[in-house]
Amino acid sequence: MVNMTKLKHAISETSPAATKATAYVIGVKADGAKSALAHSSLDAKFLASINLESLGVSSALGKTTKVSGQSSSVVLLIGLGPAKDLDSFRFIGGVAARELGAAEHVVIDVPLKSAAETLAVFEGFLLGNYDFQNYKSKPVKRHLAKLTIVSKSKPKPEELSEIETVVSAVHACRDLVNQPANDLYPEVMTQHAKKASKNLPIKIKVWEEKDLVAAGLGGIHAVGKGSSRPPRLVKLEYKPAGAKVSLALVGKGITFDTGGLSLKPAESMVGMKYDMTGAAAVMQALVAIATLGIKVKATAWLCLAENMPSGSATRPNDIIKIRNGKTVEVLNTDAEGRLVLADGLSMAVEESPDYLIDVATLTGAATIALGNRYAGLMGDEAAVEKVEKASDSVGELVWHMPLPEELRPLLDSDIADIANVKIGNRAGGMLIGGLFLREFVGADQAKKPAWAHLDIAGPANNDSAAYGHTPKGATGVTVRTLIQLARDLAN
């Protein structure tokens, strides 16, 4: 990963002088049917010499063309599009970072009308300045050392610092998710949680395999017992003085998912190292919340297991008991995420948080319904509204989905309280996953927390080309939303 601490940054009212180590980012806007250069502080005579039409330069958001600049510098012409919202500026910053990693000094000189737009470009650039090469024998060197944003609207230094903290959490999440399962399994994930919490006001508690059994955490134990790498439950707790609202975050942490005895097809197993994205996201969000000193009591529950087939694995038709006492008939061992989350949700509910959010790469049905960029959002109206507001603030895409009561009988079991799937019925798979989880967020309506479920199966991993500030591979999705949610609740 790029070491962000080495990237110096400055906000300046004018562009610095050109050198061969400098790359400039100049905006291209629509001018009727043609494209035109947006205002910048670069030399007017040089800018006038650029023939946009002959170069085929586009004003579409994020479209780029490189040209030679003065003193052997590089100029990146970038389409500004309509630029109607802050995420457009994040997008522009991200493209600049990805395109200009070979430069030592990047200067972004596009029209910025407010400190918020300046911050958005800064955030997008930092998010885009990521390249996971830990396993390359000959990694491609990135020379980037400094970023200058040309703007008369200067943010406060603490605002820039907060963005660095948030982006650092996103990058840390991406790093964890990109690791292969032979290097990242429940025990190692636990070590990462301990290391990330060090020197922060975070208490950590770990339930190892014997503790899971003793505590009645039958879901996590059942999913993980087929692996030679035992399961874990990890709790991170942050309790600042003066906090008036409590937020519990529960993350699915399946470090690899073969499907268990309900074995996946070979091609469907590729990418299943990403099945712990929910746990990585809630962990890094909690670390950032504590680092920023946000006044909200926050806990993160990491439900960690490796789902493997073996002689000790859970079988179809086995019945397990979840922490809250409900029994589950396991009809498909590949619907394992909801089993570990059931325990995590039950544990979180026992502490009576005000808000309870779970994050999981839960169902392939979410991708079929919403594609690869939207997370499915389900739950109680109060929590759903808060998550929608937070996600909109940071530019992450969620879509509110229903929890239809007529689908709940599909999970009825003849011999247990509930089944984990309906065999042979693929209708509404994402919604049925949400309905299953709802069974574990508390029966007492007066006492249950406001709950929301985020199914991030689509956006957790980008297996297509990078775009904006989103890299290929792990995206770190929902980390920024969860941090913003904590901010909103604290305020």
Question: Which band of pLDDT confidence, cut at 50, 70 and 90, is reported for residue 442?
Answer: confident
Domains recognised in the chain with CATH numbers:
4-155 (3.40.220.10), 164-490 (3.40.630.10)
So what's the pLDDT on residue 292?
Answer: 98
In sign, the C-alpha dihedral spanning 358, 233, 312, 278 is positive
So what's the pLDDT on residue 3?
Answer: 42
- The residue-averaged pLDDT of 443-458 equals 90
416-432 pLDDT, tens digit each: 999 999 998 888 999 99
- The residue-averaged pLDDT of 10-16 equals 94
- The residue-averaged pLDDT of 343-356 equals 98
Whether residue 263 has pLDDT greater than 80: yes
So what's the pLDDT on residue 83?
Answer: 67
So what's the pLDDT on residue 231?
Answer: 98
So what's the pLDDT on residue 141?
Answer: 81
Is 389 an active-site residue? no
- The residue-averaged pLDDT of 140-169 equals 95
Options 264, 295, 408, 487, the catalytic residue: 264
- The residue-averaged pLDDT of 220-242 equals 98
- The residue-averaged pLDDT of 185-202 equals 98
Please tell me which of 45-49, 79-83, 371-375 the model is most confident about, judged by mean pLDDT.
371-375
**What share of the chain has pLDDT > 70, as a percent?**
98
**What share of the chain has pLDDT > 90, as a percent?**
92
So what's the pLDDT on residue 2?
Answer: 43
Whether residue 309 has pLDDT greater than 80: yes
Is 338 an active-site residue? yes
pTM of structure: 0.97
So what's the pLDDT on residue 33?
Answer: 87
58-98 pLDDT, tens digit each: 999 999 999 999 999 999 999 999 867 999 999 999 999 99
Options 142, 252, 273, 338, the catalytic residue: 338
Question: Which band of pLDDT confidence, cut at 50, 70 and 90, is reported for residue 142?
Answer: confident
More confident residue, 324 or 139: 324
Average of per-residue pLDDT values in the chain: 96
Question: Which bin fits 109, alpha (ψ -120 to 50), beta or left (φ > 0)?
Answer: beta
So what's the pLDDT on residue 84?
Answer: 76
